[in-house]
A and B are shown apart, each in its own frame.
Chain A
Amino acid sequence: MNVHDSISQMIVQTRDVSLPHFAAELIICGTIVINLLVRMVRPLRWLDSSFLVLAGSLAALFAVRPWEMGSDVARIELFSGMLVHDGFGVLMRTLLLVFVVLFVIFTWLSGIPDKDDGPDIHTLVLGATLGMMLMCTANHLLMVFMSVEMASVPSYALAGLLKGRRQSSEAALKYSIYGAGTAGVMLYGISLISGLLNAVHLPTLAQNLVEKLPTMGPEETMVLALGGMMLAVGLAFKLSAVPFHFWCPDVFEGATAEVNAFLSVASKTAALALLVRVALGFGTTVPTMFSVAASTVPAATVPEGALATSLYSVADDASPNIAPANPAANAEFHEASARRVLSPVRGFIAKLIAFLAIITCTFGNLAAFGQTNIKRLFAYSTIAHAGYMMMAVPAILAAAGAGPNGHEVARQGAAALGVYLGVYLAMNLGAFAIIAFLRNAMRSEEIADYAGLIRRSPIVTICFVIILFSLVGLPPLAGFFGKFAVFSALSGAYNVTGQAQLPANYLVWLLVAGGLNTVISLFYYLRVVKVMTWNLEPRDQRPLQPIGLLRGAYVCLITLPTLGWILCFDLLANWCAKGAISLL
């Protein structure tokens, strides 16, 4: 094949496959540009950038096409394997964009940023969102690094949103220094891994790993593990997992509640999606990919062009781009043997994440006890919730190695993550919206100042109480369903690994840790509830301006799913389950 052919093929590929699936990201890019340029045009200056951004993110949400979920969303690699388009990506990007839409409405209501700052702040928000969307679909170690940075850099600026406020600047500085440090470590890890495995494209990397792992010496294994752990540092920073969480409470205290909502939900969603991508990327092989390169058929018999295309676009199992010489007989056998070879890799990654999840969850819950500032309390709460969500990842990995039934359970695990995130989105956005509105109304973010709030602002308080109990995970509130989904992923994986004679006993520890943490988390959420409902207002209470009808309505609306998911939980669960189909 000559150069001309491959270039033209690439163009066709980009035009027909990659760009249509990249529409949502392009719309976000377009919105950023318009948002920046609109101020140059005098007649359009009156336009509030919130509306523009709202329209842009709605259009992007539309372009992701979440309603087409199901087996229709096949796994397709975009831009020569840089990104991957599949149900999981659609699921996560939908959650992300739904959040951004609600978030923009929230910021418009809360009045931060004001009209002058609006375009700048919204540009940063959209820029970070773009990075996060790429994190959800990254399929290439370079893309992993780039997307993490794209998401992080605007976040640093967002943390310093309140210009001239010492705490805010401190938060931004801390965040960026921490971020830069971990980014360096992650990049180092990526270079170690890519150097060792001669690949940066995740499926190729897994396939090379399958070939090299049996003959790898102890030094090489060590370097590989080191590289993996360094990569994990970068992800753990984005997840605010212990011990890379130190930035989180300070940043949350210094930044505004609006930014906190963004960092706690959007950033976590993307980071978890990326964690799943990277973990599965290392721990499993893409079936068709594998049967092409590692089948017993000599490479020469496969047409060269076909091999090349297979790197660009790997279709799902049902309709492989090229047919291997003897597909049915060998595919399963090779997949099984690849699964066996990668078993220690999966075990290593799963145990590493399980360990991080347990300490993150426990530390977050314990540290939240002593907090007096509501934003700081919520910083630790988000750390703890990141821990719960991370628990789903070891379950996915462990189940992925346990045969066809195991794959089913692994998909359920990925779906559980989606369910948790969907529920968490509403809960945390609601919580931070209330914190922001109360800040506007009483100029305070101290828990003590919330004393007796039920008598002064009953509706908002009741919504807050519902959200807090939901965060504990009490049925019939939505938080329970998130926890239920993750815990059931753990027990499902425990079961299926036991049936497959590959017991993963750390899953029981995760389950126990999750249960105990639920109990200990009760204390600090209950403390806030107690202050708001039981305690009497202090003599010198702060004046409370009315919250406002529109804001009250927003709070009620955002609390409604927390209360109502019990009736239509199956919608979310089913949609997430469909989203996870093409993941494995």
Chain B
Amino acid sequence: MLTNAIWYSILVFAPSLVALLLSVVTTRNDNFYRYVTLATTLFTLVCTLFLFLMPNGVVGFNSNVGEMQGIFTLGWIPTFEIFYSMGVDGISLPLVLLTAVVSVLAMGASWSITKYVKGYCVLFLLLLSGMLGVFLAQDFFLFYVFWEVMLLPMYFLIGIWGGPRREYAAIKFFLYTLAGSVAMLVAILMLYFYSDLTDPRLRGFLNSAVGQSVIPDKQLRARIESGMAKREALAESLKDKSLEERRKILAAAETITPVHTFSILALQQIGQHTSQFDTFGVNEDGSDRLILGHGLQWWAFVLLFIGFAIKVPSVPVHTWLPDAHVEAPTPISMILAGVLLKMGGYGIIRICYPICPAGGYELAAVICGVGVVSMVYGAFAALAQKDFKRMVAYSSVSHMGYVVLGLGVWSATAEMNFDTTFWNMGIQGAMFQMIAHGISSTGMFFMVGVVYDRVHHRNLDEFGGLFGRMPVYTALSIGIFFAGLGLPGLCGFIGEAFVVFSVWAYSITMAVISAAVVILTAGYILWAIQRVYLGAEYRGPHEDHLSPSNTRENTIGIIIFALAIICGVFPRHTLLGYMEKSVEKHVGDLRAWTINSTRATWAQEDRRLQVSAIEANASDQELSAQLANKRP
């Protein structure tokens, strides 16, 4: 466990450490900073490959296991049961790899940055630490800290190195994301305080290998164990007693101190296997305490989903994205589209659904609707754009809509006989789409950046004829744009196809609409290619600056294009093989939850009639109610 801790920490914090060192170096040689930063991103990439993909590496990721792997947990803030805990599974691993790859490419594209190179490199590296941390964190608090850590560098990277309206774009980005993360913070705190590890139903989890590694602290385990024993004894003593006797026993029982947790995995178990998150406690008259008729699971889901949807971004909270992209410098756009948007999707799959399945189940139609609207709206908006980069930005909104849709199609319902095939496919599709979009949009933004560096404008109507001037660049661009379009054989196709297939089982209307979006996508991409690259002659300003792309640019383009082809031709070997088991586990867990919760009688019996742990859970309430009712 300690080896894991050291390696993960090196992976995540090496960039920040280098950033710290760079900030005290005082050489005027800009290339020094660039090369050091590039070397650091390469080191991160190598470190990731070595850690996870080498057969006998430190973690040695096993793709036949759906569980979280290579977990380590160390004490950090015991007062609040906050741990420094990380791990990977098939869902986070591809995203970690994507982050490492995209940051190398983005740093490679950063030679075009010539203003305050030192500051740029320092912030870039801090951003990298934050991104890796988000995908690896297994403690909700740690996750939140990393999530927010990315905000500051991103704000400055857009605000200082951005285009003419950078101040507006940077503050808009900051404000939207902060609003989302404050909503998330409220949900996190609520989940933390309503969680209680002393529920005997969690014993199975806590004693499993994963549970052991998530909560290894001996003292804490002893507290949990004693709480569980008390609850079980109490439940035992309540068996076969009349209501009056039960009240007496409960009144005499000693208080059981709850043990809260921030562990994402433990919260998932609590959300799926107990009723702790169902309500906000009890009202004075003994009825369930709800807020506007909804319980904690629903509210937590909504708050978390808002936070993640802003990041994805989904319509209607997407408006920061086009502004941020248009103003951000090319490499930052690449990171923004390639990695940051994926965090929203990752949060939805890792946190929203497993922790608050009830909310996801109830709101499935809304989530799918948000996904479809984003797809359609993003595609139409992209068609209408005059700015090349803005068009690509809206294409991101549209493409990320597939991700939300794929994650949201809860088709394992009673009507479907709890068949998980389609939902499984949808989530695999969504995951694949995240990686594919990470590759293709990184490439598209890079390609836009290359031409912008030369002619300093992005007006779609003032291009044309680039094929003749920059042949290699144009060939690569068209390839990458086709990947974004979803041409079979390239990476964009598989994710979209999987999602559309899976939606068919959930709602035919939505499937038809989402399939039709492919036509719109083809429309705006082909139209853009036609206006920019084809045609007889270039129609814009700075014609003399249209030099062919250089080796650095070609290398980056070729890498991206090669990745697009490889992922498109060998989806199983490159990505699906790694995610399959984890996605199956995710869907399987939620299927089990659906089966349990849709048998309404089961849940009600459990909560009201069956004398069980839950009643013991209520002992504190009853006790104080009793004491309060006694008059002197």
Q: Interface of chain A, helix or strand or loop or mixed?
A: helix
Cβ-defined contact, A497 with B148, below 8 A: no
Alpha-carbon distance between A516 and B186 when the two chains are bound, in angstroms: 11
Q: B77's contact among A408, A503, A573, by CB below 8 Å, is which?
A: A573
Determine whether the beta carbon of B624 is less than 8 Å from that of A500: yes
Tell whether, in the assembled complex, residue A522 and residue B284 are in contact, meaning their CB atoms are under 8 Å apart: no
**Is B631 interfacial (CB-CB < 8 Å)?**
yes
Of residues 173 through 232 on chain B, the ones whose CB sits less than 8 Å from some CB of chain A are 174-175, 178-179, 182-183, 185-186, 189-190, 192-194
Question: With an 8 A cutoff between CB atoms, is B282 at the interface?
Answer: yes
Q: Does A11 contact B (CB under 8 A)?
A: no
Q: Is the CB of A336 within 8 A of B160?
A: no
Given A476-B145, A487-B186, A501:B286 Cβ within 8 A: yes
**B490-506 vs A: 1/0 string, CB under 8 Å?**
00000000000000000
- Encoded as 1 (CB less than 8 Å from any B CB) or 0, chain A from 492 to 514 comes to 10111111111100001001100
Report the nearest B residue to A522, measured CB to CB: B178
Query: Is A6 an interface residue when CB atoms closer than 8 A count as contact?
Result: no
B291's closest neighbor in chain A, by CB?
A: A508
Give B575-632 interface residues, CB cut-off 8 Å to A: 620-621, 623-625, 627-628, 630-632
Q: Which residues of B contact A573 (CB under 8 A)?
A: 77, 79-80
From A339, A406, A511, A519, B175 is in contact (CB under 8 Å) with: A519
Minimum C-beta distance from B239 to chain A (A): 23
Decide: A340 near B628, CB < 8 A? Known: A403-B255, A405-B255, A498-B280: yes
Residue A372 lies at the interface, judged by CB distance under 8 Å to chain B:
no
What is the bound-complex CA distance between A404 and B258, given in angstroms?
A: 11
The answer to whether A337 and B630 touch (CB under 8 A), given A476-B149, A500-B625, is yes
Smallest CB separation, B90 vs chain A (Å): 28
B residues less than 8 Å from A490 (CB atoms): 189
Residue numbers in B under 8 Å from A337 (CB-CB): 627, 630-632
A-B pairs with beta carbons under 8 A, tally: 142
* Contact A566 B620, beta carbon cutoff 8 Å: no
Contact pick for B144, options A475, A492, A569, CB 8 Å:
A475
Residues of B within 8 A of A391 (CB): none
Q: In the bound complex, do residue A339 and residue B76 qualify as a contact, i.e. CB atoms below 8 Å apart?
A: no
Give the complex CA separation of A577 and B79 in angstroms. Answer: 8
Instruction: Determine, out of A70-78, A134-142, A526-534, the stretch whose residues face the partner at the interface.
Output: A526-534
Interface residue? A175 (CB, 8 A): no
- Complex Cα–Cα for A402 and B76 (A): 29
Is B185 a contact partner of A501 (Cβ separation < 8 A)?
Answer: no
**Beta-carbon nearest neighbor of B151 in chain A:** A474
Residue contact A488 to B189, C-beta cutoff 8 Å: yes
A402 and B175 contact, CB distance less than 8 A: no
Q: Which of A515, A523, A569, A577 contacts B185 (CB 8 A)?
A: A515
Measured CB to CB, the nearest residue on chain A to B180 is A519
Judge whether B156 is part of the interface by a CB distance below 8 angstroms: yes
Known A-B contacts A488-B192, A495-B193, A503-B289; A408 and B160 likewise in contact (beta carbons under 8 Å): no
Chain A residues closer than 8 Å to B80, beta-carbon distance: 488, 573
A502-B284 CB under 8 A given contacts A403-B624, A491-B193, A511-B186: yes
**B78 CB within 8 Å of chain A:** yes
Q: Across the interface, which residues of B come within 8 angstroms of A498, CB to CB?
A: 279-282, 289
The yes or no answer to B159 lying at the interface (CB within 8 A) is yes
Chain B's closest residue to A497 (CB) is B281
List residues of chain A with CB within 8 A of the CB of B174. Answer: 522, 526
Chain B residues within 8 Å of A495, by CB: 190, 193-194, 280-281
List residues of chain B with CB under 8 Å of any chain A CB.
76-80, 144-145, 148-149, 151-152, 156, 159-160, 167, 171, 174-175, 178-179, 182-183, 185-186, 189-190, 192-194, 255, 257-258, 279-284, 286, 289, 291, 620-621, 623-625, 627-628, 630-632
Selected A-B contacts with CB under 8 Å, 14 pairs:
A332-B627, A336-B630, A403-B255, A474-B178, A487-B185, A488-B189, A491-B192, A495-B281, A500-B625, A501-B282, A502-B624, A511-B186, A512-B186, A570-B79
Q: Which 7 A-B pairs have the closest CB atoms?
A: A498-B281, A336-B627, A403-B624, A495-B193, A491-B189, A573-B79, A515-B182
